[in-house]
């Protein structure tokens, strides 16, 4: 496969992806249609990360 063949194949694939994106409906902006708030995950800071942050004077609270 030559370079021009690959570019042509890439262009065809891009055209198909763009066509699908254009046909997809826009997301709703209504409040009722939005996903409910989910609880935040806890972040664990390893001992090594805490030492590194302390050396860089970062606060990981």
Secondary element (H or E) of residue 4: helix 3-23
Tokens of 40: 């935040």
> Could you tell me the residue ranges of all domains in the chain?
1-25
Q: Read off the pLDDT of residues 45-56 as tens digits, 9 standing for 90 and up.
A: 899 988 888 889
- pLDDT confidence band for 61 (50 / 70 / 90): low
pLDDT at 60: 64
Exposure string over 15-51, b if 16+ CB within 10 A, otherwise e: eeeeeeeeeeeeeeeeeeeeeeeeeeeeeeeeeeeee
pTM (predicted TM-score): 0.41
Q: Read off the pLDDT of residues 1-22 as tens digits, 9 standing for 90 and up.
A: 899 999 999 999 999 999 999 9
């Amino acid at each position: 496969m030559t370079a021009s063949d690959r570019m042509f194949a890439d262009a065809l694939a891009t055209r198909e992806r763009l066509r699908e994106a254009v046909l997809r409906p826009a997301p709703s902006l209504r409040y009722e249609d939005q996903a409910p708030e989910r609880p935040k995950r806890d972040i664990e800071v390893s001992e090594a990360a805490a030492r590194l942050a302390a050396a860089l004077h970062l606060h990981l609270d």
